[in-house]
């Protein structure tokens, strides 16, 4: 249904059928009937979305979607890797989000989550793995080598990840990173809110949080990111992560923009000087914009929202 809505509105979308076939990890009412059904339904979905894509400007893209390794049998993971290769689709899943998930995969396969996903053919330049808080440096190098991207979901991580992901370090290692929300994994799907949380989480990682440890020992140096860098993750970083020409105001990139009104009376931003530096105004927008400030939204050159 979501893929059809995107097609009918002429908007871009990446949509996947979530696979959860392991009866030991999923209740009967919340999983695929069996592995064969999961793979057959996924292939049928891929073909249907590819057909829908013919009616959109840039396309609606099918995404092979194992929820994460703990929800899937070995045969399902292997079959999904083969389907992704057969149809050259995007791939999305979760990877090493928490102590539990990271430990579960290591116990099941005697290898880290990233390596297991790679062995099933699920890492590549069209792959985006959410969270990835517990990647080792070797795992991060594998991501960089295969072109696999991280979907950084900082608000969700604050609730469920048991850690703060070292975004600055992984990005410096050449890993593509885009900003996400994990939808219901936190209190807000807003990328503005997630950009703010990305900055806060990175600063907490750098400074440390345990006051029983001396200040010069409790943090992880060089971990913080700026709001400008968080904006990059939400825009150009997202486009690079998906290997699509989006996220930049640049020739041959799609026109996806928001028009922000900084002077609306009900949500006026504290801009005190008409000659104020634009970089300062931009940061105020990133930290303080509310929904009513967003006057227009454009997707692929089409105005899809106007606030009177």
Tens digit of each residue's pLDDT (9 = 90 or more) over 6-58 = 444 445 689 999 999 999 999 999 999 999 999 999 999 999 999 988 877 66
Cβ partners under 8 Å of residue 9, min gap 6 = 304
Report how far apart, in Å, the C-alpha atoms of 49 and of each of 4, 155, 182, 210, 269 are: 8, 30, 22, 49, 42
Is 70 exceeded by the pLDDT of residue 222?
A: yes
Instruction: Specify if 80 maps to a domain.
Output: no
- Any residues with CB less than 8 A from the CB of 200 and at least 6 apart, and which? 154
Asked if residue 200 belongs to a domain, the reply is yes
50 belongs to a structural domain: no
pLDDT digits (tens, 9 = 90+) for 157-187: 999 999 999 999 999 999 999 999 998 788 9
Domain termination residue (choose one: 254, 281, 297): 254
Please state whether the predicted TM-score (pTM) of the whole model is above 0.85: yes
CATH number assigned to the domain comprising residue 236: 3.20.20.140
Q: Rounded CA gap, 178 and 237, in Å?
A: 5
Tell me how many domains the chain contains: 2
Judgement on whether residues 270 and 189 belong to the same structural domain of the protein: no
pLDDT at residue 3, as a whole number: 46
In a domain, 4, yes or no: no
Residue with the larger pLDDT of the pair 304 and 128:
128
Give the model's confidence band at 4: pLDDT under 50 very low, under 70 low, under 90 confident, else very high: very low
Q: Are residues 245 and 261 in the same domain?
A: no
Cα end-to-end distance, the chain, whole Å: 30
Q: Is 241 a member of any domain?
A: yes
Look up residue 68 and give its two tokens.
Answer: 């994460």
pLDDT for 12: 62
pLDDT, one tens digit per residue, over 68-81 is 999 999 999 999 99
Q: Is residue 15 part of a domain?
A: no
Nearest to 16 by CA among 37, 35, 43, 34: 43
**From CA 26, how far away is CA 89, in angstroms rounded?**
26
Domain hosting residue 291, numbered range: 257-306
């Amino acid at each position: 249904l979501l893929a059809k809505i995107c097609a009918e509105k002429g908007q871009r979308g990446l949509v996947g059928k979530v696979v959860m076939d392991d009866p030991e990890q999923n209740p009967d009412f919340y999983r695929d009937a069996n592995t064969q059904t999961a793979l057959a339904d996924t292939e049928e979905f891929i073909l249907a979305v590819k057909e829908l894509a013919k009616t959109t400007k840039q396309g609606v893209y099918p995404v092979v979607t194992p929820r994460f390794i703990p929800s899937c049998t070995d045969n399902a993971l292997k079959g999904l890797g083969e389907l992704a290769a057969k149809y050259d689709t995007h791939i999305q899943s979760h990877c090493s989000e928490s102590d539990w998930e990271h430990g579960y995969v290591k116990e099941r396969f005697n290898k880290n989550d990233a390596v297991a996903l790679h062995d099933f053919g699920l890492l590549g330049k069209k792959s985006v793995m959410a969270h990835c808080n517990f990647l080792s440096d070797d795992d991060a190098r594998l991501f960089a080598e295969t072109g696999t991207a991280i979907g950084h979901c900082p608000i969700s991580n604050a609730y469920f990840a048991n850690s703060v992901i070292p975004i600055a370090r992984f990005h410096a290692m050449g890993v593509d990173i885009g900003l996400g929300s994990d939808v219901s994994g936190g209190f807000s799907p807003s990328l503005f809110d997630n950009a703010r949380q990305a900055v806060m989480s990175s600063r907490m990682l750098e400074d440390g949080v345990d006051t029983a440890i001396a200040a010069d020992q409790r943090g992880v140096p060089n971990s913080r990111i700026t709001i400008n860098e968080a904006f990059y993750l939400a825009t150009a970083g997202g486009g690079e992560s998906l290997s699509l020409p989006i996220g930049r105001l640049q020739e041959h990139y799609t026109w996806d923009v928001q028009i922000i009104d900084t002077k609306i009376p009900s949500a006026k931003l504290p801009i005190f000087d008409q000659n104020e530096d634009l970089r300062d105004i931009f940061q105020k927008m990133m930290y303080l914009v509310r929904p009513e400030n967003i006057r227009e939204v454009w997707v692929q050159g089409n105005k899809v929202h106007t606030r009177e």
